[in-house]
A and B are shown apart, each in its own frame.
Chain A
Amino acid sequence: MRRVLTFALAALLLAGGAVGSLQAAAQTPSAASGEPIRIGVLDPTTGSFAVFGEQVNDGIRLYFDGVGDQIGDRPVELIFADSAGDPQQTLEQARRLVGQEHVDLLMGTVNSAVAPPLAEFAGQQQIPLVLTVAGARDVTGENRNPYVFRTGLANGQQDRVLGWYTAAKLGKTRAATFAWDFLVGEERVAGFTETFTAAGGEIVAQQKPPLGTTDYGPFIGQVDPSSIDVVYAFFAGPGALAFVQQMHQFGLLPNLELVAPDYFTAGVLDQMGSDAVGTVQAGGYTAAIDSPENAAFKEAYAAAHEGAPGVYVAEGYIGAQVVADAIARAGSAEAQPLLDALAAADLTTAAGPLTFDDRGQAVRTVYVTRVEATADGVAQTIVETVPEVGQSWTPAS
């Protein structure tokens, strides 16, 4: 008897805290002019993606700081929450942002795994979601949810350009691919393979180390260096850092060409140092872009940080640009007008022109870059610019 009562008491205590929220529940946000627009930002700030999430947050903050936290006559409030890169926690924080913070829209996320459940959530709650980095293809695929837009590139979008460039422009046609064994790796390798083989290339070997692997010894040894002339790699952060170094230790670099999507050296280029020289990458942003929009972005970044902004900061900044532009044109942060305005987006971002296809995926310029040694380290230079790249891009289109 006592035990059951204790349970009941425990449950009562649990709910006790909830009562305090009744007040909050009574308030409903109004969209009157002058009312703040509340943007919930979900990026990982703990765990292995923390460093990338911080940079995306930096970019978002940087943009809104630059416009005085104001869109039209309405102030902007950013509410940040830690997704930890974990779907479960992302959902919990999304529920908090929507249910308690009453945000008008959600933006952010870095790793692909959190995107599909979050998109599902956005659809159920009928709240617009603007993905910045997470590239999971399904989210902007056939069963796309009308509440979701992605300002960053879908997995494989830049790899398609890279595959074509490697075979057609670099003239390297015998490739080994190295990518972590998870959906993102699969989607990227598939994108690369399709345009690479279409342009006459051949995939000689495919290595799939388990996700998170940083010791590539067991995999590098399985590829005969004499049978290939180029290595395609997709790893990120610590994985990419270790891979480049080990490719040198095992003697495959610098004798072979190394090609990769832009996230390969993102955030770790300085750590890679001279090991990264010669790496050819394709991506949506590089500090080397020569445009007034990028100059403004770099200037704003330099005021608060050292060095040049990386792709994660840029993707946060671009996402914020697109959101602010859509809200301004919609004249409201209500879901439907905002979604319509997003769909009609046509603006020039720090990374060049951006529009959306009919599945909510950004169509953007893709830049092919090469890492060069400079006086004070290494930097990327643009070797090819391909405009209007969609998620199913082919060289013919």
Chain B
Amino acid sequence: MHFLVFQTLNGLTTGALLFFLASGLTVVFGLMRILNLAHGALFLFGGFVGYTIGERTGSFVLAAVAGALAAGLLGLVIQQAFSRTLLGSPFNQVLLTLGIAFAIGNVVLWIWGGAPRLIRPPEVLNGSVAVAGVFYPIYRLFLIGLALLAGALLWIFWERSRIGAVVRACVDDRPMAAAMGIPVDRVFAAVFAVGAALAGLTGVLGAPVLGLSIGLEFDVLLLAVVVVVVGGIGSLTGAFVGSMAVGLIDAFGKARFPEISYFTLFAPVILILLLRPNGLFGRAGVE
């Protein structure tokens, strides 16, 4: 019982962080067919900016806002500078976004010097509480709650709001949306920036659990790509379910079979994709 509760909570914590990261990646892909491999680098950049702001102001909230803003701005710059290439062939997207990822990673090393950093959770969320007989850090429970809340808000925004309707229109039929007077280019720019901002926000939110270090950008990128593809590219529901599934598989796999944890994580991924090539919640035709 103890084991079950504990590892479930661990899986949900990882899943929550993955969801924040994957939601940005999946929306950008769903809308523009862009697989942004610089997403992990934006995560790291946002995290480090958040770290610096947190150290200066002592405020976790300001750190999170700063991390999201900085990464969002950088995302906007990338989108504006390379808008044509980004909409080009998938091969060139891979080349461009990986190039950007390497560049950002090295600039982060340049600016912050490569020493690993830790952002401390806000004072109110420090410490542990008992959940079903298990002592568990409050901050991690907060992350799980936040992911649920964000998932619900994103879903409402996506399905119920006017802006959401506009974005979905662009996803479904770009020429038609343009013909109806929707400023498609601006929608693209905004969504790309929001996706990047989500990555930066995750950098700060994840720092109390994962820390911040050079190289982390690619570790999280691989997981996020897996989550997005497994969940179904462009699907928020898929990103949520995929995140939680990958998080839980990872937690139980590591706890039970630590020596083959890569196998326990990635073998199911292969299986899922072979059974459902479009992912769990993906629509046919999305490749």
Question: Does chain A touch chain B in the assembled complex, meaning CB atoms less than 8 Å apart?
Answer: yes
A contact set with B: CB distance below 8 Å = 46-48, 50-51, 54, 181, 207-210, 212-215, 217-219, 221-222, 237-239, 241-242, 245-246, 249-251, 267-268, 271-272
Quick one: closest A residue to B138, CB to CB?
A: A249
B258 adjacent to A242 (CB under 8 Å): no
- Interface code B261-284, partner A: CB below 8 Å = 1, 0 otherwise? 110000000000000000000000
Given A217-B10, A245-B118, A268-B116, residue A48 in contact with residue B259 (CB < 8 A): no
In-complex Cβ contact of B258 among A181, A238, A249, A271 (8 A): A181
Q: How many residues of B contact A (CB 8 A)?
A: 45
A219 adjacent to B215 (CB under 8 Å): no
B137 adjacent to A218 (CB under 8 Å): no
- Give CA–CA (A394, B116) in the complex, Å: 34
Quick one: closest A residue to B6, CB to CB?
A: A221
B135 adjacent to A251 (CB under 8 Å): yes
B116 adjacent to A215 (CB under 8 Å): no
Chain B residue contacts of A245, Cβ below 8 A: 118, 120, 208
A51 adjacent to B261 (CB under 8 Å): no
Q: Is the interface of B mostly helix, strand, loop or mixed?
A: helix
Quick one: closest A residue to B109, CB to CB?
A: A50
B116 adjacent to A51 (CB under 8 Å): yes
Given A46-B106, A215-B210, A218-B251, residue A249 in contact with residue B137 (CB < 8 A): yes
Least distance between A374 CB and chain B CB atoms (Å): 20
In-complex Cβ contact of A238 among B116, B127, B262 (8 A): B116
CB-based closest 6 A-B pairs: A238-B116, A238-B213, A48-B215, A51-B114, A249-B137, A221-B6
Report if B174 contacts A (CB, 8 A).
no
Chain B residue contacts of A215, Cβ below 8 A: 10, 13-14, 209-210
- Give CA–CA (A272, B211) in the complex, Å: 11
Least distance between A110 CB and chain B CB atoms (Å): 12
> Can you list 27 A-B contacts with CB-CB less than 8 angstroms, sorted by A residue number?
A47-B215, A51-B115, A54-B114, A210-B258, A210-B261, A212-B215, A215-B10, A215-B209, A217-B10, A217-B13, A217-B209, A217-B251, A218-B7, A221-B2, A221-B3, A221-B134, A238-B212, A239-B211, A241-B116, A241-B118, A246-B209, A249-B127, A249-B140, A250-B128, A250-B137, A267-B116, A271-B116
A218 adjacent to B255 (CB under 8 Å): yes
Quick one: closest B residue to A210, CB to CB?
A: B261
- Give CA–CA (A251, B208) in the complex, Å: 16
B140 adjacent to A181 (CB under 8 Å): no
